Structure 1
Amino acid sequence: MDLRFSLAVPREAPSIPMIRRVVGDALRGLGVAEDCVTDILVAASEACTNVVQHSRADGGFTVAGQVAGGTCQLRITDRGRGPRPVPPPKELDDLSESGRGIRIMRALMDDLSIDSVPGSGTVVQLRKRLTWRDENPIGRLGHRLLHSAG
């Protein structure tokens, strides 16, 4: 089953729990395992918090998601001037506040990319292979369809 969604939200802190709720409910509704949902929500929260705290853009930002082929992909986009340069992961001090969210996202997700173009904004892409609950409703539906077709 494929699922696509897109949210356009104001660049304000109250947007972050709303995004967590929508994404979490969608993933849980598909039967994604809770630990996998948690990883995705923490990484998405970090990316959205970076937009709220560091984007130098007026207006809002978007969160677009897709669940397909056993993976979840999220794309967080703002239209700011782009972030200040972020040091590579090995140059970050373990006690430093700066860059901690990026390390968290890298640890929780299978793939993270951050593309920034001055004047066009920043796009954070997160990708994770999904794990499923045993009582996955989508899996049961697929099994029934396969069984009835065979």
Structure 2
Amino acid sequence: MKKDNEISNYVNDNHVNSHKKVPFCCVIAIPDGFELVPHCYPKVIYSLECLALCKDVCRKTVPVEGCGQAEIDLHVLKIKGCIPYIVNIEVRPTCDWKGCSTDSHSKEITLCCKESVCIDAVLQCSVHCVDSIDLNCENVKVCDLSIQISDCMNSCHLAKISGYFQFC
């Protein structure tokens, strides 16, 4: 019969992503006559208030070497809900744009998009009891942010900002 740590290894190797990543993206139209500020890095603000954690115990059948199959109790920590977020980028007028600004020292301005991503995922599972985690900015982080620019009709450009919410 498999020992507890062998079953734990089976579960860890086959069912758990210890740093779960949830993809997100949004698209911002950059008006004609504007361009991204050089070295533009998107800013993201997000809320964790619409997420909930729940613990559950379920039965799982695992292969046992030389004995066939065995049922074990799996303790599961799930996360459900949504993360509403806002992404912004800085743009500036191109050389041929003639316009005015309320800020005489800068013609840069921020454009943004607002979206939400739904989540229904298993964060942890173990043959042992799982500890709950605090949902805060320390263990739900934004990672792998990128911007892709593409052309659209009417001489505008689209900025697609994508990344991941990572549960640490």
TM-score, scaled to structure 1: 0.27
Q: Would you tell me which structure has more strand in proportion to its own residues?
A: 2
- Bigger relative CO (Cα 8 Å, ≥ 6 apart): 2
Which structure has the larger Rg? 2
Q: Would you tell me which structure has more helix in proportion to its own residues?
A: 1
